[in-house]
Structure 1
Amino acid sequence: MCLLTPSDLHRIFEKLDVNNDGLVCLEELNRLLQMTGNSCHYSLEELESLVEKKSLGFSEFLFFYNSISEQKNGESRGGEDTEELESDLVKTFKVFDLDGDGFITSQELECVLKRLGLWDGKDCRTMIRFYDTNLDGRLDFQEFKTMMLLTKA
């Protein structure tokens, strides 16, 4: 999948830092990993052992993200198989398909992007229309898969 920019990560960090203390606790970090369908699954104890802290500042958050990204990229370069890619895409699709009806609407896309701090204020209908090959105003899994594979970094 596409790697996030430092600006994207900063917005996500700010959303996670609900008490504005400049720190993100491991529970919030773990929730983010699960919510985004990240295939790296850690218990809170494993996360604490990995980062050796109970909370992360922004620079530590960036380092953690980069470490996981490098790990995933290394796996991909080693020959990520089609089944794993498909599984990751299904998990990601489910993150955006908020009502579980098998389609992603522009409202769902906007809602998830806002939740992640990635919405730039643009109309999500344009993105949906661009990849909506059957012109029903929403993305099914195949259309979503095409979008993700065409925008892969």
Structure 2
Amino acid sequence: MPCLGTGDLHRIFENLDKNGDGQVSLEELKWLLEKIGVQPSVDELESAIGKLSLDFDEFLYFYNSILSGGTTGSGGLESPKGNEGDGDQEADLAEAFKVFDLNDDSFISCDELQSILSRLGLWDERSGRDCNSMIHAYDTNRDGRLDFEEFKRMMLITIS
């Protein structure tokens, strides 16, 4: 996932919380994950989260757990760990990269990032500038797109 600020995550949360009860259900969370190419079942989510809905703070924790590879298959969310499971973290980052690399050319362009942000309900005119700025901030070779190493650096900075 791209580096999303708390404001962006709050907008996502509010968009997901259709009935305005301050909770995002597993069905709503499943819908969001499917929009970005992840296909969990409700049972898998319940097993990983350990409850049927999340308030905003729990949603933030879930988001951070996904970024750090800290969800478990045996129930509940784990706190992010130090450098344990670096191989798993690399594999998780590679999977996340594939979600954004829509044309499978091994790069993430602004258009691809815009597409994912649109799926999440985060695209507006302001986001276009943010998209270019985000890519530019981590695009060390200045080619206007992110390769896997640049993406990995961005994600590791975000979750540390």
Q: TM-score, normalised by structure 2?
A: 0.64
Partner SS state of residue 91, structure 2 = helix
Cα contact 2:136–2:144 (8 A) shared by 1:
yes
Change (3 A) 1:152 1:135: same
- What runs of 5+ residues in structure 1 fail to find an aligned partner? none
AA paired with 1:92? A
Match 2:41 to one of 40, 43, 57: 43
Contact 1:37–1:88 under 8 Å retained in 2 = no
1:62 aligned to 2:47?
A: no
How many Å separate the matches in 1 of 2:119 and 2:37?
A: 14
Offset of 1:140 from its aligned partner? 0.9
Which of 130, 138, 147 aligns to 1:131? It is: 138
Query: What is the 5 A alignment of 1:2-151?
Result: 5=6, 7-17=7-17, 20-22=18-20, 24-33=24-33, 43-45=41-43, 47=45, 50-52=50-52, 56=53, 60-62=54-56, 64-65=58-59, 68=62, 69=64, 72=70, 74-77=79-82, 79-118=83-122, 121-122=126-127, 123=129, 124-151=131-158
Q: Report the Cα offset of residue 144 of structure 1.
A: 1.0
Taking only the aligned residue pairs, the percentage that are identical comes to 49
Q: List runs of 5+ in structure 2 lacking aligned partners.
A: 71-77
Query: What's the CA shift string for 1:116-145, capped at 9, x where partnerless?
Result: 344572412222223223332211111111
What CA distance in whole angstroms lies between the structure 2 residues aligned with 1:42 and 1:90? 18
Q: CA deviation at 1:42?
A: 5.8
Q: Distance in 1 between matches of 2:133 and 2:37?
A: 25
Contact 1:37-1:91 at 8 Å conserved across structures: no
Shift of 1:4: 5.7
The count of aligned residue pairs is 141
* Partner SS state of residue 126, structure 1: helix
Structure index of larger Rg: 1
Of structures 1 and 2, the one with the larger relative CO (CA 8 A, separation 6+) is 1
1:22-62 Cα deviation digits (max 9, x unpaired): 36553331243465688xx963235457434xxx4xxx332
CA RMSD of aligned residues (A): 3.5
TM-score with structure 1 setting the length: 0.66
